[in-house]
Amino acid sequence: MTRKEIGSIAGMLFFLCSPTLLGVWLAEDFGEGFWNHILFLLAGTCIYVAGISLFKRKTFFYIASVTFIPSGVEIVHLILNHATTSIQFLYTCVIAEPGELWELFTTYWWVLALAIALWSTYFYLLRHNIRNEYLIANAWVRYSVAAVCLIFYLVAWQSPAVQHASPAHFVTQSAQLVKLRQTIRHNEALLSSFDFFIGSNQTSDENIVVFLIGETSRYDHWQLNGYHRPTSPLLMAREHQLVSFDSCYTVSNLTAISVPMMLSRATPEDIIPLYTEKSVVEAYQAAGWRTSWIADQSFTNSQLLRISSSCNQTYYFDSEDRLQRSYMDSVLLAPLSTELSIQEGSQMIVIHSLGCHYKYSARYPKSFSVFVPDMKDRDLRTIVGDIRRDSLLLHDKHLLGEVRELLVNSYDNAIRYTDHFINEIILRLEAKGKRSVLIYVGDHGENLLDDERNMLMHGSFYGSRYEYHVPLFVWMSDQYREAYPEKVSALKANKDKCMSTMVLYHSLLDAGYIIYEGKEETMSIFSPSFESQHPIQVLDANLQCKELDEY
């Protein structure tokens, strides 16, 4: 071989092994310790060593090119979560929320640009510098090398470090995703025959139940929950009408999973009801209530689309600007007013808002830039790039402090605008003059470079308390409080108890006095029989049940 060919082969092998090399440095999900990292490195490289031993080198490099896309996904996941690709990540991007891929591409465009440049170089070298000959001339040696690699895999497979090595790890995770999708499709066939067996409503009075799902909402950044900044002044003025719960935890740190879960009887221990049973919204409809769905997100989530399509009226508001540079929840107020203008019957309304999602400064107008400097007129992708580069390489605490100030100020401004948005909803409910109740919950929280881990956004592999601890509060109109004093008392008695968002299905139905088969008083925050939940069960990044480490 010429020096040019040797150099080309070395460079192309380095490119193929780049997810493994990056994983040795960043990944934290296959165990700590020197030997785990050595096993991970060996497992990630020996596949390619076996391949280049068995095939002629030009043939091998063409075959190996099929790993480009999985490798790109793996690299992005490693940068985002310091972990190898999880089923939750694949489920969100491929099945539940394909639109999340667009956000990843727009934020980590430089990874895509670099990948395209490297792919182009790879194929140029392959076409011009590589001959289609065996790298190892001796057939016995070739087969021996391949056999050693295979035996290594068989012997070491029980080690998590080997199981998590790319590209085999991506293949096994994809297989699990396909299996999950088949399970979902099989169980969805049972939906048509599902019956709530709802009894007669205990009250003939007209009531309104509004379930507001707040996106990316942290418990500890609400003034209502003791935060030192005035992020919710309007709700603080209504404190006598509210009950805020201290210890509510989401079952997942991703919207695509957490929201469908809170609308169903599914639990982290048993997620099958998520696919075999209808939602709490459909239960209200079965009880004779008018149901409506008002949302400015999750346009591609198949489960939420199925639930929303079952409503009497559905409103989806998509931004014409696909990068969502300036898109606020105020667009949801007009359809809410339309729904509330209906004069007869009880109503159950779900509002799925953007809240504080992604680019926080796009979620509030300039007039709400109370905490400055913020990210208004700044490029989040540049800020994220600074965070990733400096937190991973330079450890520039001063720069990270400045970036965190921008993030926190913008996030707090978004919370303050959410406070305004919720108050506008309440004003409309008060004007209606009916027995009304508003239940607000965050689907998950957010990381804001809170500690030495320099974690950002949400959906991280292990999760953090900043992602799982979410606000939950209930507002009740004067008419509702007067009609159901026992529910008000129960809410106040339960506010300090520990719970997960699994209680929402039962609590929502209890709020409207819906009687149904399998009613669990111990799971409703409106019931004096409600029981505190210990320990809190959540879903990990591979959709497996685990206990939440810290509350």
Which domains, ranges and CATH numbers included, belong to the chain? 3-186 (no CATH), 209-318+329-358+429-474+501-539 (3.40.720.10)
pLDDT band at 322 (very low <50, low <70, confident <90, very high): very low
Beta carbons within 8 Å of 275's beta carbon, 6+ residues apart:
183, 184, 187, 188, 190, 191
* Residue 382, pLDDT above cutoff 80: no
**Is residue 208 within 8 Å of 512, Cβ to Cβ?**
no
The more confident residue out of 345 and 390 is: 345
pLDDT band at 107 (very low <50, low <70, confident <90, very high): low
pLDDT band at 129 (very low <50, low <70, confident <90, very high): very high
- Please tell me the predicted confidence (pLDDT) of residue 395: 53
pLDDT above 90: percentage of residues in the chain = 51
What mean pLDDT comes out for the span 251-269? 92
* Residue 455, pLDDT above cutoff 60: yes
- Please tell me the predicted confidence (pLDDT) of residue 381: 54
Beta carbons within 8 Å of 184's beta carbon, 6+ residues apart:
95, 275
- Please tell me the predicted confidence (pLDDT) of residue 379: 61
- Please tell me the predicted confidence (pLDDT) of residue 419: 97
The more confident residue out of 371 and 379 is: 371
Average pLDDT over the chain, rounded to whole? 86
- Please tell me the predicted confidence (pLDDT) of residue 199: 61
* Residue 436, pLDDT above cutoff 90: yes
The more confident residue out of 85 and 487 is: 487
- Please tell me the predicted confidence (pLDDT) of residue 391: 46
pTM of the model: 0.82
- Helix 18-26 and helix 3-16, axial crossing angle in degrees, nearest 10: 50
pLDDT band at 489 (very low <50, low <70, confident <90, very high): very high
The more confident residue out of 25 and 211 is: 211
CB atoms within 10 A of CB 158: 8
- Please tell me the predicted confidence (pLDDT) of residue 96: 65
- Please tell me the predicted confidence (pLDDT) of residue 207: 92
pLDDT band at 204 (very low <50, low <70, confident <90, very high): low
Q: Which amino acid is at 380?
A: L
* Residue 451, pLDDT above cutoff 50: yes
The more confident residue out of 259 and 456 is: 259
* Residue 392, pLDDT above cutoff 50: no
What mean pLDDT comes out for the span 294-300? 86
* Residue 86, pLDDT above cutoff 60: yes
Distance CA 278, CA 310 (A): 10
* Residue 388, pLDDT above cutoff 60: no
pLDDT band at 279 (very low <50, low <70, confident <90, very high): very high
Residue where the block lists tokens 């819906």: 514
* Residue 259, pLDDT above cutoff 90: yes
- Please tell me the predicted confidence (pLDDT) of residue 118: 87
* Residue 101, pLDDT above cutoff 90: no
pLDDT band at 515 (very low <50, low <70, confident <90, very high): confident
pLDDT band at 355 (very low <50, low <70, confident <90, very high): very high
* Residue 531, pLDDT above cutoff 80: yes
Question: Which range, of 30-44, 129-143, 260-274, averages the lowest pLDDT?
Answer: 30-44
* Residue 222, pLDDT above cutoff 90: yes
- Please tell me the predicted confidence (pLDDT) of residue 393: 41
- DSSP-derived secondary structure for 205-230: S-EEEEEEEETT--GGG-GGGT-SS-
* Residue 254, pLDDT above cutoff 70: yes
Torsion of CA 75, 79, 85, 88, to 10 degrees: -140
What mean pLDDT comes out for the span 368-392? 67
pLDDT band at 505 (very low <50, low <70, confident <90, very high): very high
Distance CA 171, CA 54 (A): 21
What mean pLDDT comes out for the span 357-363? 86
Beta carbons within 8 Å of 129's beta carbon, 6+ residues apart:
4, 5, 8
pLDDT band at 177 (very low <50, low <70, confident <90, very high): confident
* Residue 320, pLDDT above cutoff 90: no
The more confident residue out of 454 and 142 is: 142
Distance CA 364, CA 406 (A): 15
- Please tell me the predicted confidence (pLDDT) of residue 154: 87
* Pure H helices in 328-440: 333-340, 380-389, 397-432
- Please tell me the predicted confidence (pLDDT) of residue 248: 96
- Provide the 3-class DSSP secondary structure of residue 439: strand
Question: Which range, of 90-94, 397-401, 476-480, averages the lowest pLDDT?
Answer: 397-401
